[in-house]
Copies of this chain bind each other. A is one copy, B any other.
Amino acid sequence: MATVLVVYATNHGNTQKMAAAIASGVTSVSGSQANLKCAEDVTANEVLASDAVIVGTPVIMGSLDWRIKKFIDETCRPLSMQDSLVSKVGAVFASGSGYGAGGNGCELTMLAVLNSFALAGMVIVPLPKRTPGYYLGGLQWGPFGRTSGEKMEPLGITEEQLEVAVHHGANVARITDALAGKNLFA
């Protein structure tokens, strides 16, 4: 039984909606269970008990939300110092208004989370461009929910955008299942 922890912070509910879609993707894979949590509420034991961690963050000023960073600094870092996260699976998703032609900093935002996961020794799952819904809600490192239109009119997260998030959750669950319990790293 693979356990996937889905952690998020949210301001307007958009990242939360994506988190719920990802969790539903996880549970759609036989033998996988999802633990969906707001960043403030996750305990170190919940991280330890998980085979994979998927973190979702609003894109704020071109980087991860400070509440997500606080979770990484205070909850994940002591575990990483003891090498307790090595060989777990890590993945990421994000939402943001997306002003401009390129996502308003979404790429470095996702890489900030993944840089922490790499330091912890976690295997990283990206998002293939062939994934259904990618053209509306995908980025190479994970789902990106763009919540505003070209002129910053708020549109929220649409059903079509959530499709790619569901698949991301299922992808992570399958890869976690294939890796769990094996002796992968020196």
Residues of chain A whose beta carbon lies under 8 Å from any beta carbon of chain B: 60-67, 69-70, 72-74, 76-77, 80, 83, 86-87, 98-108, 111-112, 115-132, 134-141, 144-146, 150-152, 161, 167, 170-171, 174-175, 178-179, 182-186
Contacts and interface: CB of A to CB of B under 8 A. Distances in A.
Given A65-B73, A98-B102, 4 more contacts: A61-B120, A101-B106, A102-B103, A128-B185
Copies of this chain, complex-wide, total: 4
A140 B179 contact: no
Contacts of A132: 186
Contacts of A151: 135
A74 B171 CA distance: 28
Contact of A184 (B99, B103, B112, B171): B171
Contact of A178 (B76, B167, B178): B178
Contact of A100 (B111, B121, B144, B183): B144
5 contacts: A100-B129, A101-B136, A132-B186, A135-B152, A175-B179
